[in-house]
Structure 1
Amino acid sequence: MPLDATALGNALNEPLTLHSTLCRRDAGAYQQAIQSGDDVVVACTQEKRLFAELGAATEGAVSPIRFVNIRETGGWSRDASQATPKIAALLAAARLPEPEPVSTVTYKSAGRLLIIGPMDQAERAADMVSDVLNVTIFTQGPGLTGASQERRYPVLGGTVTSLTGWLGAFELTWARDNPIDLDLCTRCNACLTVCPDGAIGLDYQVDMARWATLDRNVQQACVNACTVAGAIDFNRPVVTDAEPFDLVLDLRAEPAFAQHAPPQGYFRWDGVSLPTLLKLRDMVGEFDKPKFFDYKQSLCAHSRNEVVGCDACIRICSALAISSDKHRQRIEVNPNLCVGCGACTTACPTGALTYATPRASEQGLNFRTLLSTYTKAGGKDAVLLLHSQEAGRELVDKLGRAAQLKQAHGVPAHVIPAGLWHTASTGIDLWLSAIAFGATQVAVLTTHEEAPQYLDGLQAQMDIAQAILTGLGYAGTHLRLIRADTPAVLDAALQSVAAQRAATPRQPARFAVAKEKRSTLDMAIDHLIQQAPAPEALPEAIALPAGIPGAGSPFGTLNVNKDACTLCLSCVNACPASALGDNAERPQLRFVEKNCVQCGLCATTCPEDAITLVPRLLLTPERKASRVLNEVQPYQCIRCSKPFGTVKAIEAMLGKLSGHAMFQGAALERLKMCGDCRVVDLYTAQNESKITEL
């Protein structure tokens, strides 16, 4: 790799010494470094295992060690001679403090494995894992050859009614609806010998559809043949049973879990692939994973008064880990099912759900460090390429190797790869922050890992962010969704990205990304407004796309039909973001547009259907101020003249109740009084009635 130690040292504010074969000939330099106590960054990931072993064998090694790949991402490219600014940026980001630890979710597996499928395949799989796992088979037909004569594993039969749970906590429920009791069956094959038409298979279960077509005497032949064992009884009552398991291996054509991200501990097997069985063998013990999300109910726009508004997180979750609890006005996230994709936090308009590892503030610091170091080192037109830590990183590495072999161009010099746990974990707040920090483009690399709804959600967010940037006068395309599964496709996509240019702020931002999503959005948008190419020509408002299904645009206003609105203020009570309010002095509906998250609870709650959502970004100071959406004449009590409602609301009530038998004469007149006068009038009328009777 062409590395310039002087230029890199200047960008990092310290002198650098380069070691070309640190893992072999210069290993002593590495050992001295990890004995120094200073942070050590190893700019190679190929020999990560070797470095770890060498560190463990080095006496007095105390330095924290971090790894970063500058080879496939920069040094192995046709642009390698121009990649010094990018390499400096990658080295600077690698030196950032480790993210703060987060709480964990613990799984405990004792190795109880359930295999569901044809007997021959199930037994073959069981033979390869039974030395470390406690196997039970649920038969789903004999397969091509059926069960072996030797009964080596417990076998269950019948009809599966449900399979729920996760690693260490699966529960199988099934109906024992087959005439053959597999616990009593000795596999003597006597029933198969006398049964015509193959109604009993080599899984020792009866095909009831075939059996029903047989002559009555023939139907009893298998029962008579099984007299000694007594395993066959067509009159046995159906019993529902349940049993817990730690792991599930599913061999059926139709999986038990249809979602894109099945529960951890659930595996599918094609009957050939060995890696699946190797993973199963390692799934015994106690396992921890990060709790990937934080949830603040006070910010959640999901429901109010059992009316559902925003449900974007529920719709986008590929693991079915999020459910609605509208009675408690919240959502529920099952941490055991959560796979940490972060799509829910990206879709959440309020920041009620936030990504915890790394936090938005930590990810923002990483982006700012990458972009500021790149610029300081002389780099221009930075493109931030966000990719996943697994398939995405592997694809970038393959592209680098292809470039080294002269089979591809490689990662362009101004494209800076940044790894994420999952590509769906960042959204409009961090993307706009990256543009504010000086990136010309943010590209998100997606592979086969991403669920279809993730792609739709990411694209919807990109459409909103791009509409904001275009509306502010920033020319070009700043957000791109790259879909690739091969180095060739990725190479072509990156060359296309590299050929484009997009406008950036006149001065890069230096703000720190906040933990709160809306705060970060406000800072990013404020900076983009202040540093717009032509601030004097900014429009009053920018129209925005509809946004993510279930949530809509994160910004917007409300149109109120003043002829229909009675100012009942149901919408004020429903608003979770304090965007709507009333006036204690006058019948008014007031609105702060900056707070509105377009969740739709106000429109759904309104009994008059008088509210319409309008996605937009208002650029004037009015966005942060309280303004009146509707105001009506107060209705004054006919007895004391105190205002107690609105003219429109009281007149509407009178019109609806005037024909009712209970609201005639004086009763109807009392509806025109305030609460106090209504009680006094009713009490006076009752006393007058008693005096008249006397």
Structure 2
Amino acid sequence: MKTLICDCNRTQPLEPRALGEALGEALVLHNTLCRRDVGAFLSAIEGTEPVTVACTQEQRLFSELAAEAHDGRGAAVPIRFVNIRETGGWSRDAAQATPKIAALLAAARLEDPEPVPTVSYESRGRVLIIGALDAAERAAALLADTLEVTVFARGPGEAGGTQTRRWPVLSGSITGLRGWLGAFELRWRADNPIDLDLCTRCNACVAACPENAIGLDYQVDLDACRSHRACVQACSVAGAIDFTREPEEQVERFDLVLDLRPANATPTFLQHALPQGYFRATSLDAATALQLRNLVGSFEKPRFFRFDAKICAHTRNKTVGCSACVDICSAEAIRSDMARGRIEVNPHLCVGCGACTTVCPTGALGYAYPRANEQGERLRTLLSTYARAGGRDAVLLLHSQGRGQALIEELGRGARLGVMHGVPANVIPLALWHTASTGIDLWLSAMAFGARQIAVLVTDEEAPQYLDGLQAQMDVAQALLQGLGYGEGHFRLLRAQHPSALDAELQALRLARPRGPAEPARFAVAAAKRGTLELALDHLIAHAPLAAAARPEAIALPAASPLGAVAVDTERCTLCMSCVGACPAGALLDNPQAPELRFIEKNCVQCGLCVKTCPEDAVSLVPRLLTTAQRGAPRVLAQAQPWTCIRCGQPFGTARAIEAMLVRLSGHAMFQGAALERLKMCGDCRVIDLHTASDETRITDL
């Protein structure tokens, strides 16, 4: 691995020797790598080792130089780029930022995430424009040279439409619009008395209508129309107007949708994350026009999620337990499929935010790109390198690659100009595809690896439910650490829309000095969420500031906790084992040798299926963390005396369950006399008794 660092015309106080020691590589400091020292870059890419360039400002230039050096084919070795300027070198305490910069360089040297399956889209450029006719046609005129335009008129607007037929114009009442890029389906009712295919735009009907119920979009306002039918007479030659025509349901498919309806109109899609290929605006601007023009052809995106139906806690036996993923999805890509007893995720609607994987208690939904183990390796590399270079009190700043990244870069430039402090030396930024894609398992792993605080930067990109979900996860994680004696202030949501607001939030972080484990963990983050969570908890418990004798046996947690116990009312429990059959995590178990309900606490995900399944309302959830070794051992929650068959004496069921059944069925007409007695028998004896009774009846009849 070769690493190239540059102090950007001596504006960053970089220490090549200290950085090299942390990375295990001799580094040379350049002043203008993109200009006078560009030969060093060209020389580095001629070798066989991957190259890391500590500059994103001139990433395009370096990529073009690499392509030119190899006849347009690009460099023969991987080239990775990392920003150390706005994230550390340009700040008021840049002189202390060497450990942070070493950590950023080390993380940039890691291998790219493994490829994952992709989701494909195919667009031929058929665009539907919905809106007032004048605005829709202005947008159509800008797009028609590259896209196949269809307009759905929603009133004439201020000026009405053009008289010249340049593209199809639909009219009527929209009854449905759904889909995604390349696969939108429009449904509408053709209830306009004017047939726009026959209409010649002569405007005779407009002039003849005494109520002005016909606009220049050539649609009849049926609420204003008083049935004078002067328009029909005026259009007798063309015959385009027919009030007796029955409305017809129409369906048509499009690749793209531009919705120009006013902001106060009810939109077709209400979710925060709109489907790809759907654009909502009051007028067509240059940026939207460019995006629409570029969405013609074949496209792919990663399949961001993986789903393991076997451990999903959504439903069992048509009873819904956990619906956290359905509730939080801002793209409405997840739905409950009760017929199949599971959730369904539409990969074409999924935008890769990862919020579903963050709130999933079992790990049935996992983030796939990057995978949890790849993200964990990045966290461990950042924090171990930071500590090895002498860094203290590390704060991980998780932010999006979009608006979050832009805010940090603006903050760095403000610090360079002396109007802001910049990113503090102990704050390590880490870009994510989306800030909702990490949760309690990776956060606690980062704390075990040596972080002292986890800050998540959120902007107007995040849906409101994401903020609620992240805060709920943080409350659980904080309660865990506080109960173990680590104190407060480990997790924070930073809400900022402007670099000055972010600057103030980051400076406030400097005041907090929460505690962490004295010894950093070395475990590898597992692919399974629960496995990672257990590894992190084991380390945090083993190195807790409170000694085992001083810490509570169980730490109470908020209701959103994926950890906890179940409490069973033994007076009501009949040991029917319905809860055992419903449990998706193997936390509730029966005992084949005796009527017992057993429980393994570390397996419990607090999904609530056991609570909703129990016919006696005898089960309740207890969100908590058991800090003793009993967390992983089975224990008995309820037990009862067995009922013995009155015919053969073999035990079956429990005395309480059989007695409760006898009480409930004793008044039923079908369970009287011998039939009631058979309920006291085991299955085999019940069958024998039925056959015996049948034989006796036949003999009597003879």
**Structure 2 equivalent of residue 450 of structure 1:** 462
Please name the residue that 1:87 is paired with.
101
Query: Which of 126, 130, 140 matches 1:112?
Result: 126
Report if aligned partners of 2:261, 2:282 keep a CA contact under 8 Å in 1.
Answer: no
| 1:13 correspondence with 2:21 | no
Q: Provide the residue aligned with 2:116 in structure 1.
A: 102
1:497 is matched with 509
Question: Which residue of the partner structure matches residue 229 of structure 1?
Answer: 238
Q: Which residue of 2 aligns with 1:385?
A: 397
Aligned position for 1:250: 259
Q: Distance in 2 between matches of 1:165 and 1:691?
A: 70
Could you list the per-position Cα deviations for residues 50-104 of structure 1 after superposition, in whole angstroms to 9, with x for gaps in the alignment? 1111111013831210010000000110011111110000000000011101111
- Report what 2:288 is aligned to: 276
What is aligned with 1:550? none
- Equivalent residues in 2 for 1:515-526, closer than 5 Å: 515-526=527-538
SS in 2 for 1:526: helix
Which of 245, 250, 256 is equivalent to 1:241?
A: 250
Deviation sequence 1:294-345 (CA, Å, 0-9, x none):
0011111111111110110000000000011123221100000000000000
Whole-Å separation in 1 of the counterparts to 2:667 and 2:267: 61
Contact 2:139 2:284 in 1 (8 A): no
**3-state SS of 2:656 partner:** helix
1:185 aligns with 2:199: yes
Q: Distance in 2 between matches of 1:175 and 1:92?
A: 60
Displacement of 1:522? 0.3
Q: Is the 8 Å Cα contact of residues 305 and 327 (structure 1) preserved in structure 2?
A: no
Within 5 Å, give how 1:340-359 maps onto structure 2. Answer: 340-359=352-371
Residue in structure 2 matched with residue 567 of structure 1 by the alignment: 575
Structure-to-structure mapping, 1:347-496, within 5 angstroms: 347-496=359-508
For 2:309 and 2:200, locate their aligned partners in 1 and report how far apart those are by CA, in whole Å: 58
Query: Is the CA contact 2:185–2:251 (under 8 Å) kept in the aligned structure 1?
Result: yes
Deviations 1:665-687 (A, max 9, x none): 22222211112222222322333
Distance 2:556 2:546 in 1: 18
Q: Kindly state the Cα deviation for residue 656 of structure 1 after the two structures are TM-superposed.
A: 1.4
User: Which one of the candidate residues 629, 652, 668 is aligned to 2:676?
Assistant: 668
Q: Distance in 2 between the 1:282 and 1:676 partners?
A: 72
Residue number among 30, 42, 57 corresponding to 2:53 in the alignment = 42
Q: Is the 8 A contact 2:415 2:421 kept in 1?
A: yes
How high is the sequence identity, in percent, across the aligned residues? 66
- Tell me, yes or no, if structure 1 residue 601 matches structure 2 residue 614: no
| 1:605-624: CA deviation from partner (whole Å, max 9, x where unpaired) | 11111100110011111110
Change (3 A) 1:691 1:240: closer
Out of 328, 332, 336, which is 1:320 matched to?
A: 332
Which SS does the other structure have where 2:385 is aligned? helix
User: Secondary structure in 1 aligned to 2:544?
Assistant: coil
With normalisation by structure 1, the TM-score equals: 0.97
User: Where do residues 330-341 of structure 1 align in structure 2 (5 Å cutoff)?
Assistant: 330-341=342-353
User: 3-state DSSP class of the match of 2:624?
Assistant: strand
Give the alignment of 1:138-217 within 5 angstroms.
Answer: 138-211=152-225, 214=226, 216=227
Aligned partners of 2:670, 2:324: CA distance in 1, in Å? 46
Q: Which moved more, 1:395-404 or 1:651-660?
A: 651-660
Measured after TM superposition, the shift of residue 272 of structure 1 is: 5.4
Q: Secondary structure of the residue that 2:407 maps to in structure 1?
A: helix
CA–CA distance in structure 2, aligned partners of residues 106 and 678 of structure 1? 59
Per-residue displacement from partner, 1:112-170 (whole Å, max 9, x unpaired)?
00000001100111111111000000000000100011121110000000001000000
Counterpart of 2:35 in structure 1: which amino acid?
R
Please say if 1:618 is aligned against 2:626: yes
Distance 2:687 2:39 in 1: 93
For 2:698 and 2:116, the matched residues in 1 are separated by 73
2: distance between equivalents of 1:589 and 1:380?
48
1:299 aligns with 2:311: yes
Q: Structure 2: how far apart are the matches of 1:188 and 1:564?
A: 81
Does residue 125 of structure 1 match 2:139? yes
CA distance in 2, matches of 1:132, 1:560: 67
Mapped partners of 2:317, 2:383: distance in 1: 46
Return the letter of the residue paired with 1:24.
R
- Amino acid paired to 1:378: G
**TM-score, structure 2 length as denominator?**
0.96
How far apart, in 2, do the equivalents of 1:482 and 1:173 lie? 43
Is the alpha carbon distance of 1:689 and 1:62 closer, same or farther for their aligned partners in structure 2, counting shifts above 3 Å?
A: closer
**Superposition deviation, residue 32 in structure 1:** 0.8
Which deviates further from its counterpart, 32-41 or 435-444?
Answer: 32-41
CA distance in 1, matches of 2:441, 2:591: 33
Per the alignment, do residues 692 and 204 of structure 1 end up closer, same or farther by CA in structure 2, a change over 3 Å counting? closer
SS of alignment partner, residue 30 of structure 2: coil
5+ long unaligned stretches in structure 1: 548-552
SS in 2 for 1:244: strand
How many angstroms apart in 1 are the aligned matches of 2:64 and 2:686?
A: 86
For structure 2, the residue ranges without an aligned partner over 5 or more in a row are 1-11
